[in-house]
Amino acid sequence: MRIYGTGILKSMLIAYRNMLRKPITVQYPQEKIELPERARWAVALEYDEEGQHKCTGCLACVRACPDYVLDLQMTTAEDRSKHIDHYRYEIGACMMCGLCVEACPFSAIKMSHDYELARIDPDTLTVDLLTDVPAAVPKRKTPAVEPAKATAEAPAAAPATPAAEPAEPAVPDGGADV
């Protein structure tokens, strides 16, 4: 049998039980919840042991970005060394998808844990990640074997598979320049 009003009593009981529970919220500016390790927030540069940025200016992140949030302007000098004029990041339009970080072949950028992105001045919504610096030259981890192999196979492989060529230079080219 259903008695009229039991639902009301039940809901009131739940409400009173909730009053006895400890608050599940935190006092935000004073205390913060630790983010999970792989939380994705604003894009930031990754630095190597010497404190140098690792961006080679390959533009992979710019191409990967679905919102055109990243903007990298780069000039190549006569000796094929690259110079980054600016590398800008529009925080206001970024949706933290992480595709740029996935695309980066040198781990030059990362998804940082900086989630306090509110700005007072709208001009500061564009962050200059790098301005007017020479691009990093990627270091090979196994340099001893590679050049010999490349010279040995290159003449034979190049004519046989021309389709593979355009994809390759993006990555190893910088290393070959050393």
The distance of closest approach from Cβ of residue 16 to other proteins in the complex, given in angstroms and rounded to an integer, is 7
Binding residue (CB under 8 A) for other proteins from 2, 3, 6, 8: 8
Q: How far apart are CA 63 and CA 48, in angstroms?
A: 24
The residue within the footprint of other proteins, chosen from 1, 19, 145, 148 (CB under 8 A), is: 19
Cα 72 off chain centre by: 14
Answer for the pair 99, 33: CB distance below 8 angstroms, yes or no. Answer: no
Of 8-16, 81-89, 102-110, 149-157, the window that binds other proteins (rule: CB under 8 A) is: 8-16
CA pair distance 37, 96, nearest whole angstrom = 15
Q: Say whether residue 151 binds other proteins (CB under 8 A).
A: no
Beta carbon nearer to other proteins, 22 or 141:
22
Classified as helix, coil or strand, 143 is coil
Q: How remote is the C-alpha of 6 from its chain's centroid?
A: 54
- Going by C-alpha positions, the residue among 98, 121, 123 that lies closest to residue 41 is 98
Cβ proximity to other proteins: between 14 and 77 the closer is 14
> According to CB under 8 A, which one of 25, 49, 148, 163 is a site residue for other proteins?
25
Binding site for other proteins (CB under 8 A): 8, 11-12, 14-16, 18-19, 21-25, 27
